[in-house]
Structure 1
Amino acid sequence: MRFAFLFAIFVITVQSGIAWRSFMRGRKNNGNLGEPNLTKAYVPIKEQWFTQNLDHSNPVEGRTWKQRYFVNSDFYKKDGPVFLMIGGEGPASSKWMIEGQMIEYAKQFGAMAFLLEHRYYGTSRPTLDLSVKNLVYLSSEQALADIAYFIEGMHLAYQIPHSAKWIVFGGSYSGSLAAWMRAKYPHLVHGAVSASGPLLAQIDFQQYYVIVENSLKTHSQACVDSIVAATKQVHIMLRHPIGQQGLAKLFNFCDPIDSGRTSQKDIANLYETLAGNFAEVVQYNRDNRNESSITIDTLCNIIIDEKKGIPVHRLAEVSNLLLRNNKEKCLDYKYNKMIEELRNISWNEQKLPGGRQWIYQTCTEFGFFQTSTARPYLFSETFPVEFFIQQCSDIFGPRFSHTLESGVERTNTIFGALDLSNVISNVVFVHGSIDPWHALGITKSSNPNAPAIYINGTAHCANVYPPSKDDLPELTKARKQIGQLINLWLQTTVYS
């Protein structure tokens, strides 16, 4: 249940239970990055609204809707640049207009700063509900067109000279949008900072758990070995009624395992959830948020501690720790319960805001399904790519299991996938070695006008958050490099 993505942010906004949290984690790994930690008390930034077209691809379609945005002009100097953070698969938080690395750059360069919420997320609601017929207007292409029209509109609304240079920022999915925005609208966007952006759409994202394993090994081989041992013990216990009862008690299941009512999909969902606990912590490891105080070291120290019992007992302690941290009363692994919730088309009744929308995008544009088949001994072989494709069909209808391949091919054809760095300028691609999403991004570039910065030891969108005294030297260096690149772009007049 999930394809860990992104919310990406900087152009970002942010988001990610156990079954529900990991579900979104998997599909984005959750589309959310979380909010920055504010170091001071601030007056909240007031939300603004911009009128958008519902369908940018059809000039005959006359319907419009209101898109939410925020603006901070405190640091703007006459004839200065404009920085735009692109929202991703979650509600836009005005905190990004107060603190965060983009705001640090805005202070440095005298820029006006905007944050634009992504259509269909947060309170930017183009349609009456989230039915399949209405979700047809949810796509990365429509989102890019929203940004283009927004930029044009802001010139008039805030009397920004048309000569002003716009730099867009994004992380995770919105990091992808930032790079694509520079490629598709170079006459509007002068430069782009793409943090942790996956640019290769891929149905079976096997590499994800390979990198999760490698990242866990940065703690110790014993950590990985203990997870393998715990997974084997879960296998054995699931085969017998007494073992099933023991698992239900150990892991605090919301529903007992019943051989007559527990399906293979339920078991797959259970394993995917347990694997997702480690994946989520790896993905957001030490990203400068209070809620991210649980790290790789935290989980590995538990899983290797033999004083805490046999491996399955330690695995249960890890699971229960994350349950408590996410204020979950029990571990809900039931597949049909998840599917029914994600079939809900009401804006106001979503258990996980943005969940249905992000899954729709993965089922139509990206894939990004984080499967276990490359590391079956670590997290089991029970959630292969077919498990996720079936979810597309079960949530949105049978045809969605047949059109995914063409949708992913279309995305890569339109946006250029990993070849983008060869044909673009004024873009920097930033990734961390701990972050599993770097496998689908550009981590090396031979184009000096579109360099890649690969930060050893950091995780998802680390450079987006406010600086911290605990930042690795490589991260501090990367932030400085990005600032130098922005300065260089602002000295040039190249538009392609």
Structure 2
Amino acid sequence: MRMARLVLSVVLLFSCEWCALGFHNSRFLRILRHRTHFKGSEQWFVQRLDHFNAADARVWRQRFYINDTFYRTGGPVFLMIGGEGTANPAWMDYGAWLTFAEKLSALCILIEHRFYGKSQPTEDLSISNLQYLRSDQALADLAHFRATLDVRMNLTFNKWIAFGGSYPGSLAAWFRLKYPHLVHAAVASSAPVQAVVNFPEYLEVVNYSLESFNSPCPLLVKDASDTLIKMLANASKHRQITRDFRLCERLRINSKMDAAYFLETLAGNFMDVVQYNKDNRAFEDPKGVNITIDVLCSIMENASLGIPYDRYVMISRLLLQTYEEKCVDASYSKFISDMLNTSWAAPAADGSRQWAYQSCTEFGYYQSTDSSMQPFSGFPLSYKLQQCVDLFGPEFNSAVVADAVEHTNENYGGIHNKGSRIVFPNGSMDPWHILGITKDPKAVYIQGTAHCADMYPEKQNDLPQLVEARKEIFQRLKTWIRE
């Protein structure tokens, strides 16, 4: 299955690689690779490695794309910010921002985040190099890119608008906050601007979302999860669990970390579906696959499939089949081994190792089971924090993570963002809205929608609230561009 939910974290989306926050969206990214041709050619821009040390002259090449289909001289420049994964050129063909661009004659640019995709500033992903992977360095990249392109492309008098979803949504808001002379406005979709160490509320929203389909659903999930935990305590049951969930290797529970990793992997099936419930990603999937809360809860409520544990197994198998995966990789030791590989050619270089580092050094966002108001058990905050130590060393302990999160909020303001001309769309079904701005005049709160739903292309069966939200975002853009 996916590399990890580790610190989703995916959790950590999009990166605008269809909105992930963390790395639990790799299944859909694989589907997108079926498409190979998009508008806008791959281009490169020279950046400084360290914007805050004038004595460091090292540089690297950052990837970006341009779509000038709708551009008219003097029109605005839309800058889509990449995040914790490879920049997806599908954004040069699809998305609500292109609808806005057509109406406003905008030039569209997609830029990849440093240390993700092909934007590789250093020779590897060692800790000594990852020190340059920070949001403030990424914002300085945006500032230098914008100021330089301004001159090169004769865009001096054009108004730049930043776009982003999930972590890049936060970057869009922070770009406007920190560099108001360079970016005129920002659309920060599903942006978790408040950094936190412990984020048990994520699973509380998952519980609420499952309950919204039918109130017994999360109770049945809890029954299944509790049954599984009891079975894990009995070594004689491990062979059955291995067979039931089609694990890639025989289940071995040698520590609390092993059990936690396995339990989180299975819970991730529900977390992923809730986060992206009924969004518009399926338009890119040649199979039309879009597993929803309705599908999961229908299975959990189907008594003909056996006890709730059996139904939990069925859901895991359904997702394996849907995404053409042979088995569930539930080995914590293998996960750590893969993540410790610092090569750009390593599987974890897809963004997993990088986002783990950013989580440990800036954001936290650890989706723990430290709340009784949700159906899962077994992966507490202590498990999440231990990953920082296992991956990056004893100096990345819980106190360091707490200090890092505090610094992030001091630097950017958290939910008290004072930047002007920023709109914060958030969906009520998206667990990340808890860390976003939803009650401010700058907010557009969308009932019944999931993560980054406003960013996807329109479709006929969009909820009326989503249709109105896109209209509101467009009206604000039109007004701001005239200011």
Question: TM-score with structure 2 length normalisation?
Answer: 0.93
Name the residue aligned to 1:13.
Answer: 17
CA distance in 2, matches of 1:33, 1:325: 11
Name the residue aligned to 2:8.
Answer: 3
The correspondence for 1:209, drawn from 193, 203, 212, is 203
Write the letter of the residue equivalent to 1:465: Y
Name the residue aligned to 1:117.
Answer: 112
Does 1:296 pair with 2:293? yes
Provide the secondary structure at the position in 2 that maps to 1:378. Answer: coil
After superposition, the Cα gap between the structure-2 partners of 1:54 and 1:33, relative to the gap in structure 1 and judged at 3 Å, is farther
CA distance in 1, matches of 2:13, 2:148: 24
Name the residue aligned to 1:66.
Answer: 61
After superposition, the Cα gap between the structure-2 partners of 1:237 and 1:147, relative to the gap in structure 1 and judged at 3 Å, is same
Offset at 1:31? 8.8
Write the letter of the residue equivalent to 1:280: D
After superposition, the Cα gap between the structure-2 partners of 1:371 and 1:43, relative to the gap in structure 1 and judged at 3 Å, is closer
Does 1:469 pair with 2:464? no
Offset at 1:251? 0.8
Residue ranges of structure 2 left out of the alignment (5+ in a row): 1-5
The correspondence for 1:458, drawn from 433, 449, 467, is 449
CA distance in 1, matches of 2:73, 2:154: 11
The correspondence for 2:132, drawn from 129, 134, 137, is 137
Structure 1 residues 334-380: Cα deviation after superposition (integer angstroms, max 9, x where no partner): 11110110111000122561100000000000000000111377111
After superposition, the Cα gap between the structure-2 partners of 1:234 and 1:7, relative to the gap in structure 1 and judged at 3 Å, is closer
Alignment of 1:214-293 (within 5 A): 214-258=208-252, 262-290=254-282, 291=285, 293=290
Name the residue aligned to 1:170.
Answer: 164
Provide the secondary structure at the position in 2 that maps to 1:68. Answer: strand
Name the residue aligned to 2:143.
Answer: 148
Q: % of aligned pairs identical?
A: 43
Offset at 1:270? 1.0
Question: TM-score with structure 1 length normalisation?
Answer: 0.91
| Alignment check: 8 A CA contact 1:286 1:293 kept | yes
| Alignment check: 8 A CA contact 1:13 1:35 kept | no
CA distance in 1, matches of 2:140, 2:415: 22
After superposition, the Cα gap between the structure-2 partners of 1:404 and 1:41, relative to the gap in structure 1 and judged at 3 Å, is closer
| Alignment check: 8 A CA contact 2:338 2:346 kept | no
Name the residue aligned to 2:3.
Answer: none
Write the letter of the residue equivalent to 1:171: G
CA distance in 1, matches of 2:213, 2:113: 37
Alignment of 1:294-373 (within 5 A): 294-351=291-348, 353-373=350-370
Q: Report the number of matched residues.
A: 471
Provide the secondary structure at the position in 1 that maps to 2:44. Answer: strand
CA distance in 2, matches of 1:289, 1:463: 12
Name the residue aligned to 2:100.
Answer: 105
Structure 1 residues 264-318: Cα deviation after superposition (integer angstroms, max 9, x where no partner): 2111111111111100000011111225510001111111100011111100011
CA distance in 2, matches of 1:153, 1:345: 32
Write the letter of the residue equivalent to 1:319: S
After superposition, the Cα gap between the structure-2 partners of 1:353 and 1:83, relative to the gap in structure 1 and judged at 3 Å, is same
CA distance in 1, matches of 2:67, 2:27: 22
| Alignment check: 8 A CA contact 1:3 1:30 kept | no
Name the residue aligned to 1:391.
Answer: 387
Write the letter of the residue equivalent to 1:268: A
The correspondence for 1:409, drawn from 393, 406, 410, is 406
After superposition, the Cα gap between the structure-2 partners of 1:120 and 1:114, relative to the gap in structure 1 and judged at 3 Å, is same
| Alignment check: 8 A CA contact 2:18 2:281 kept | no
Hey, which bits of structure 1, 4+ residues long, moved more than 4 A? 28-38, 40-44
Q: Tell which deviates more after alignment, 354-363 or 245-254.
A: 245-254
CA distance in 2, matches of 1:144, 1:207: 28
Provide the secondary structure at the position in 2 that maps to 1:128. Answer: coil
| Alignment check: 8 A CA contact 1:269 1:334 kept | yes
Q: Tell which deviates more after alignment, 64-73 or 249-258.
A: 249-258
CA distance in 2, matches of 1:387, 1:41: 39
After superposition, the Cα gap between the structure-2 partners of 1:188 and 1:468, relative to the gap in structure 1 and judged at 3 Å, is same
Structure 1 residues 219-267: Cα deviation after superposition (integer angstroms, max 9, x where no partner): 1112111111111221222233443222221111222234xx6322111
| Alignment check: 8 A CA contact 2:185 2:421 kept | yes
After superposition, the Cα gap between the structure-2 partners of 1:405 and 1:288, relative to the gap in structure 1 and judged at 3 Å, is same
| Alignment check: 8 A CA contact 1:14 1:89 kept | no
CA distance in 2, matches of 1:32, 1:442: 29
| Alignment check: 8 A CA contact 1:216 1:300 kept | yes
| Alignment check: 8 A CA contact 2:201 2:434 kept | yes
After superposition, the Cα gap between the structure-2 partners of 1:7 and 1:396, relative to the gap in structure 1 and judged at 3 Å, is closer
| Alignment check: 8 A CA contact 1:179 1:192 kept | yes
Structure 1 residues 420-464: Cα deviation after superposition (integer angstroms, max 9, x where no partner): 1xx22100001001000000000111x4xxx10110110000011
Provide the secondary structure at the position in 1 that maps to 2:65. Answer: strand
